[in-house]
Amino acid sequence: MDFARGLRIPLYWPAALPTLVLLLLGILVLSGLEVRLGLVWVDNWDMLQLIGVVIGLAAAAALLLVPYKTIVSRAYVFYACNMFLLLLVLVAGAERNNARRWLKLPGFDFQPSELMKLTLVVTLARFIRFRSSYKTFTGLWAPFLLTLIPMALILVQPDLGTALLFIPILFTMLFAAGARARHLALVVLLGAAGIVPLYEWGLRPYQRDRIDGFLVQLGLVDRGDAHMKAMAKDENYQLEQSKIAVGAGGFLGADEGGPGGQVLYRVPERQTDFVFAALANRWGFLGGVLVLGLLGWLLVAILAVAARHRDPAGKLLCLGVFAMLGGQAFINLAMTVGLMPVTGLTLPFVSYGRSSIVVCILAVALVCNVAARPAYEFGRGDFD
Partner 1 sequence: MSYRGRLLLLAILGGLSGTVLLFRLFAMQVTGGGEARVAAERKIADGRPLHARRGRILDARGNELAAEEVGYELAVRTAAWRAVMHECPRCGLVRFYAAGEKARPCTRCKATLAQVDRADVAPLARLLGISVQELVERVEERVAEAQGSVERGLKDLPPRQAAQERKRLETDHGWRPRRIARDVSYEVAREVELNPHANPAFRIRAQHTRRATGGRYFVHLLGHVRQEQKEVPGAEGLFVDAAVGVSGVELAFEEALSGEPGWIRILRDPRDGEAQVVERHPPRHGLDVTLTIAAADQALAVAALGGVAGAFVVIDAHQGGVLAAASAPDYEPGDYARVLGEITEEKERRGRWPKHHALRESALADFDVPGSIVKPMTAIAALLSGAAAPETRIFCDRFFRNRRGQPLQTLRCSHEHGEVDLREALVRSCNVYFQTVQKASIEQGRFDSFFEVSRRFGFGLPTGVELEPDPFPDTYDPGRTWEQNVTMAIGQGRVRLSPAQVARAYAGLFTGALPRLHLVAEVGGRPVSPQRTPLRIDERALRFVRDALEDVARKGTAAGFGLERWPAAVKTGTAQLGGKLQNAWLAGYLPVHAGRPAIAFAMVVFDTELNGADACAPRLAEFLRGFYGERGA
* Contacting positions for partner 1 (CB under 8 A): 35, 37, 42-43, 172, 175-176, 178, 181, 241, 243-251, 254, 256-260, 262-263, 265-269, 280, 284-285, 288-289, 292, 295-296, 299-300, 303, 306-307, 315, 319, 322, 326, 330, 333-334, 337-339, 382-384
Cβ 3 to partner 1 shortest distance, Å: 33
Q: Which is nearer to partner 1, 13 or 175 (CB)?
A: 175
Cβ 246 to partner 1 shortest distance, Å: 5
The enclosing H or E element of 361 equals helix 354-372
Cβ 208 to partner 1 shortest distance, Å: 24
Establish how many alpha carbons lie within 13 A of residue 2's alpha carbon, considering only the half-sphere containing its beta carbon.
Answer: 0
Q: Which is nearer to partner 1, 194 or 259 (CB)?
A: 259
Q: Which is nearer to partner 1, 144 or 175 (CB)?
A: 175
**Distance in angstroms (rounded) separating the CA atoms of residues 323 and 301:** 13
**Rounded (5°) CA angle 17-20-21:** 85
Q: Which is nearer to partner 1, 231 or 331 (CB)?
A: 331
Cβ 210 to partner 1 shortest distance, Å: 19
Q: What is the DSSP letter of 39?
A: T
Cβ 324 to partner 1 shortest distance, Å: 13
3-state secondary structure at position 313:
helix
Q: Which is nearer to partner 1, 326 or 348 (CB)?
A: 326
Number of C-beta neighbours around residue 1 at 10 A? 8
Q: Which is nearer to partner 1, 31 or 262 (CB)?
A: 262
Nearest to 332, CA basis, from 348, 320, 354: 348
Alpha-carbon distances, residue 247 vs 188, 209, 213, 229, 270 (angstroms): 35, 25, 20, 24, 15
Q: Which is nearer to partner 1, 64 or 298 (CB)?
A: 298
Check: CB of residue 23 under 8 Å from CB of residue 349.
yes
Q: Which is nearer to partner 1, 191 or 258 (CB)?
A: 258
Q: For the stretch 215-234, what's the b/e string if a residue is b when 16 or more beta carbons lie within 10 angstroms of its beta carbon?
A: ebbeeebeeeeeebeebbee
**Distance in angstroms (rounded) separating the CA atoms of residues 213 and 218:** 9
The end-to-end CA distance of the chain, in Å, is: 37
Check: CB of residue 283 under 8 Å from CB of residue 251.
no
Cβ 256 to partner 1 shortest distance, Å: 7
Cβ 172 to partner 1 shortest distance, Å: 7
Nearest to 362, CA basis, from 147, 71, 118: 118
Cβ 307 to partner 1 shortest distance, Å: 5
* CA 162 distance to own-chain centroid: 7
Q: Which is nearer to partner 1, 150 or 288 (CB)?
A: 288
**Distance in angstroms (rounded) separating the CA atoms of residues 316 and 91:** 33
Cβ 1 to partner 1 shortest distance, Å: 28
